[in-house]
Chain A
Amino acid sequence: MITTLPVLAWALHITIGMVTLAALLNVYRLIKGPDAPDRVLALDTLYINAIALIILLGITLETRLYMESALLIAVMGFVGTVALAKYLKRGSVIE
């Protein structure tokens, strides 16, 4: 962290903390359910939080090398959610 002011460092830490907490809440919902859609929704949200975490990691490490990872999570998260939802309502993902 080569930031001149501590405020940015703090902000970064706090944000990471908040997103981590958010992720934990998602996991709670994912485990609690009660229904499959809740779990899928939680998973989808978890994916989005993961994107946030990756971005924050990039800032922390001062590298943009993880940007594509974030992009990929977005794409894959979407397709995954779609597939899971499709399974729930149609059974066959591809038909």
Chain B
Amino acid sequence: MTLSLVVLLPFLGAVAAPLFAQAGRTAIAIASSVPALIALMALFPHWKRLADGGVLVQTFEWMPSIGLSLSFRLDGLSLLFALLILVIGLLIILYARYYLKPHENVGKFYAMLLCFKGAMLGIVLSSNLLLMLVFWELTSLTSFLLISFWNHKKDARRGARMALAVTGGGGLALLAGILLIGRIVGSYELDDVLAAADLIQAHALYPFALTLVLLGAFTKSAQFPFHFWLPHAMQAPTPVSAYLHSATMVKAGIFLMARLYPALAGTEQWFYMVSFTGMATLLIGAYVALFKHDLKGLLAHSTVSHLGLITLLFGMGTKLAAVAALFHVINHATFKASLFMAAGIIDHETGTRDMRRINGLWQFMPHTATLAMVAAASMAGVPLLNGFLSKEMFFAESLALNLPGLWAYVPPLVATLAGIFAVAYSARFIHDVFFNGKPKDLPVYPPHEPPRYMKIPVEILVFACVMVGMFPAISIGPLLNIAASATLAGNVPDYQLAVMHGFNLPLLMSFLAFFGGLLMYSQRQRFFDFHARFKEIDEKAIFEKVALKMEDLAATFTHMLESGSLQRYALLFVLSAIAVAWGPISELGVFVGANGLSPIDVPTATGALVLMLCAVGTAAMHRTRFYALILLSVVGLLVALAFARFSAPDLAMTQLSVEVVTIVLLMMALYYMPSWTPIEASWSRRIRDIAIALVAGAGMTLITLAMLTQPFDSISSYFLEHSKKGGGGTNVVNVILVDFRGFDTLGEITVLAIAALGIYTLLKNVQLTPPPGDGHGHPWTRDAYPVMLRQIARPMLPLALMVSLYIFLRGHNLPGGGFIAGLITAVALLLQYIASGMQWTQARVSIRYHNVIGLGLLFAVVAGAGSYAFGFPFLTSTFGYITWPVVGKFEVASALIFDLGVYLTVIGATLLALVSLGNLSPHSAITHLKGGE
């Protein structure tokens, strides 16, 4: 409970803090410190147990299926880091209270700071690797927001994005690494993982797991070559830099290495990867730091260098090195945090961070200067300060490291060289800022000491540096000890924390570093000149350039594929269909199946030929659109005949009526379109399309032929058997439509209804200008409604209604049914529209077609739902026979009501579509005719 509370509190605080934003900066600062205070109090009682090498683990189930549990662990290592996070966090809160300006969004700042703190605590306290990863990425996100706090600044945005890209990306690598470890160990619980060192290191996947985990650690801890994000993160407000880049975020990677040290360390791979990365980082950071004119830039690169140092120590793999690493974690956190704060104060008071302008601040802010100089001395590794101690241990370890042959000299040399640079840039920090003549045109002049309370955090930290530096054993000893024992799984080497270990090689190296550093700084101009020869590489610019280039490439590539060309998409679709189907088709052993071919009669053959001819003709003549339309209707007619020829009267009728309405629709559309299609495709393009079309056609031919000549039996015998006794109809097709598969029909008429509604919406207030005359330039005839046509149209209506009724009523037993009947009625009305015009006909049609559609659907649904009342499922039909005098015996079937729904829907939908189209035409028809109108 305690631990989850410790992690949870900051998040709660993040929610609560902004509420105090109105009450002023002090109020919110106090509110924000509450979680940390509670957390410290909560952790304190466990000190005893940890001191005895105990561990506190608390676990709650979360997602067992993926091995993710809310389990937290408090041991020496996590305690050490938790304390750093909490204590320095408190100081930062206090510092930020004075650093931030009243008008700034303090609420947001503290909220995000607390979120970040919670995430960090999560990392160090979680006992489940997946859970740790959750918090890990959470720190990436929150730091992204913190770094970009001043998001109106371009550099802040870029720095933040770069940090997110690197650390977030590293997190993804870490994810993979953790998953691999999980696979190897079979659990993500830290206890299991730490216990399975041998298993892991023996496993074939170990190199991958190690590399991925280290990628995570290195990116987070700004190790070479991923170090570049850190200096650019300096765009953050200084409290953020002081927190993230001294004590917390960048230490997460270090923590991870420490945490998994027992499980992963001790192998060749570990040694080379970690130590060499650390070495490189150590040197590069130290070297670059010297040449930075930006205060925070200098500190940032020194941070990189110190992180490299710690990494190198972990890489060495010796127990003492690990202890030294942990020790330096503490020391670096203290002096670097104070230095950042000091830099912030200077920035705050002078308005700039450029050391070429900032000079001689000693006169203006001696108090701050003293603090900063002490901290800087500690950074340089001056004796009696904590930095000195861990650096001594570092030198000692670099010597203890016995590499084969000349390699043995490399670590000590590197260490010394880095030490020299460290002294040099520390010296610069001290001399160039506080002395070195008079300030040059400071934005704020003269600078003053900052507010009293702004210095308190610095004082506390500097005090810590001194205390640790002078009385290491009593001040930090115990904590370091339990932390080390936790890291080294219990067996801590014997080491003594003393100010002096007598005159020995490490001490000599320190002296070399010290005086070498001073010398170097005194000769700095040469080095500056030397450095100036190489042009500064701006990683941010490169990063941005790369990002932009990538975007542009991606955009070009995308536009190349997603070209917005329907022809391309259709082609891809057709090709895909062919591609998948062609393999199986080629597997067809014989094209003609077991049943063989049956003889063909002359009329059928003729029909087939004409059909093919007209189909090809339609494709060939598609440029002259009207002609294509005529050929298309021939095809339609022949398809209907084919249905009739092969025993499908219902299909023949449906096809016929649908085809005519379709042609009319196409003509009505063609009226507003060009009558001719221009030639656009090149010959090669057309030949390509023809080839594809032929392949598709050939495929269909082969499939059909094979299928038609194969014997088969289907479930249809059931329909034939039950159509009459179960469905009460002898037209099996109709019974299937209204009964066996009535649900299909319901969907089908719904489609029809929706299409009509859609068409209606599409054509609502659409403006189309019709051509003044036909394609040949003849103006349209004046006579819109020829008298003969009008006269013949009149009797057609009642006659057609009667026929459609007839077709409708017999549908259940003989060819026909609601759909065909509906189309006949619709066509009869269509004839009225054609013969006498929109206005005339609309004036005589008293119903809205919308309502007809609705009514139709309603009938169908009601007919289907009626069966609920009798406990039968939806669409269960019933029928009976009635005998009346004169009339005789006749059938009444509920399916007929359903079919009536179909009938009405078809009428409504068809006419709504046609009338919506008709409405487009300007009613310019000259109605010059006598009588009638």
Contact = CB atoms under 8 A, between A and B. Distances in A.
Given A20-B606, A36-B626, A92-B770, A68 B649 contact: yes
A74 B637 CA distance: 12
Interface string B814-841: 1110001000100100110111011000
Given A23-B610, A82-B831, A84-B630, A71 B664 contact: no
B644 A66 contact: yes
Interface stretch (B393-401, B475-483, B651-659, B737-745): B651-659
Given A50-B641, A53-B603, A87-B671, A72 B630 contact: no
A90 B784 contact: yes
A92 B641 contact: no
A59 B613 CA distance: 28
Interface in B677-699: none
Given A69-B652, A73-B656, A79-B660, A57 B634 contact: no
Interface in A44-80: 46-47, 50, 53-54, 57, 65-66, 68-69, 71-73, 75-76, 79-80
Given A43-B630, A83-B834, A54 B641 contact: yes
Contacts of A65: 649, 814-815
B781 interface: yes
A94 B912 CA distance: 13
B815 A20 contact: no
Contacts of A82: 789, 831, 834-835
A5 B602 CA distance: 22
B781 A47 contact: no
**Interface SS of chain B:** helix
**Interface SS of chain A:** helix
Interface residues of B, number: 65
Interface stretch (B89-97, B250-258, B581-589, B913-921): B913-921
B831 A39 contact: no
Nearest to A65: B649
B608 to A, nearest CB: 12
Contact of B667 (A24, A27, A93): A93
B668 A93 contact: yes
B503 to A, nearest CB: 110
B827 A43 contact: no
B637 to A, nearest CB: 6
B818 to A, nearest CB: 14
A87 B664 CA distance: 9
Interface string B633-665: 110010011001100010011001101100110
B644 A91 contact: no
Contacts of B603: 16-17, 20, 53
Interface residues of A, number: 43
A63 B764 CA distance: 48
A40 B627 CA distance: 9
Contact of B637 (A33, A40, A47, A75): A47
B470 interface: no
B644 A95 contact: no
Contacts of A91: 671, 770-771, 773-774, 780
A34 to B, nearest CB: 11
A88 B620 CA distance: 22
B634 A30 contact: yes
A8 interface: no
Contact of A90 (B657, B664, B780, B831): B780
A94 B652 contact: no
Given A20-B606, A50-B637, A66-B649, A72 B824 contact: yes
A42 to B, nearest CB: 8
A66 B650 CA distance: 9
B650 to A, nearest CB: 9
A92 B807 CA distance: 31
B19 interface: no
A27 B610 contact: yes
Nearest to B604: A20
A54 B641 CA distance: 8
B86 to A, nearest CB: 81
A87 B775 CA distance: 11
B626 A94 contact: no
Interface string B588-614: 000000000000001100100010011
A80 B663 contact: yes
B656 A94 contact: no
A57 B921 contact: no
A54 B664 contact: no
B440 interface: no
Contacts of A71: 803
A90 B789 CA distance: 14
B921 A80 contact: no
Interface string B834-863: 110110000000000000000000000000
B838 A95 contact: yes
Contacts of A16: 603
Contact of B656 (A39, A69, A86, A93): A69
Contact of A83 (B610, B649, B664, B784): B664
Contacts of B197: none
B649 to A, nearest CB: 5
Contacts of B641: 50, 53-54
A87 B617 CA distance: 21
A75 B827 contact: yes
A17 to B, nearest CB: 7
B154 interface: no
Contact of B634 (A43, A66, A89): A43
B668 A92 contact: yes
A50 B773 CA distance: 33
B925 interface: yes
B653 A68 contact: yes
Contacts of B781: 89-90
B670 interface: yes
A73 B652 CA distance: 10
A50 B542 CA distance: 77
Contacts of A89: 780-781, 783
B526 interface: no
Contact of B921 (A27, A39, A66, A92): A92
Nearest to A36: B626
Contacts of A93: 664, 667-668, 671, 834, 918
A94 B671 CA distance: 11
Nearest to B663: A80
A31 interface: yes
Given A80-B663, A93-B664, A95-B923, A69 B671 contact: no
A95 B649 contact: no
9 contacts: A47-B637, A50-B641, A53-B603, A66-B815, A69-B656, A84-B667, A91-B671, A94-B917, A95-B922
Interface of A: 16-17, 20, 23-24, 27, 30-31, 33, 36, 39-40, 43, 46-47, 50, 53-54, 57, 65-66, 68-69, 71-73, 75-76, 79-80, 82-84, 86-95
Interface of B: 602-603, 606, 610, 613-614, 617, 626-627, 630-631, 633-634, 637, 640-641, 644-645, 649, 652-653, 656-657, 659-660, 663-664, 667-668, 670-671, 770-771, 773-774, 780-781, 783-784, 789, 800, 803, 807, 814-816, 820, 824, 827, 830-831, 833-835, 837-838, 914-915, 917-918, 921-925
Minimum-distance CB pairs A-B, first 8: A94-B918, A92-B921, A95-B921, A76-B660, A89-B781, A94-B833, A87-B667, A69-B652
Given A36-B630, A65-B815, A91-B773, 13 more contacts: A23-B610, A50-B637, A69-B653, A72-B653, A72-B657, A76-B656, A79-B660, A79-B664, A82-B835, A83-B663, A93-B668, A93-B834, A94-B838
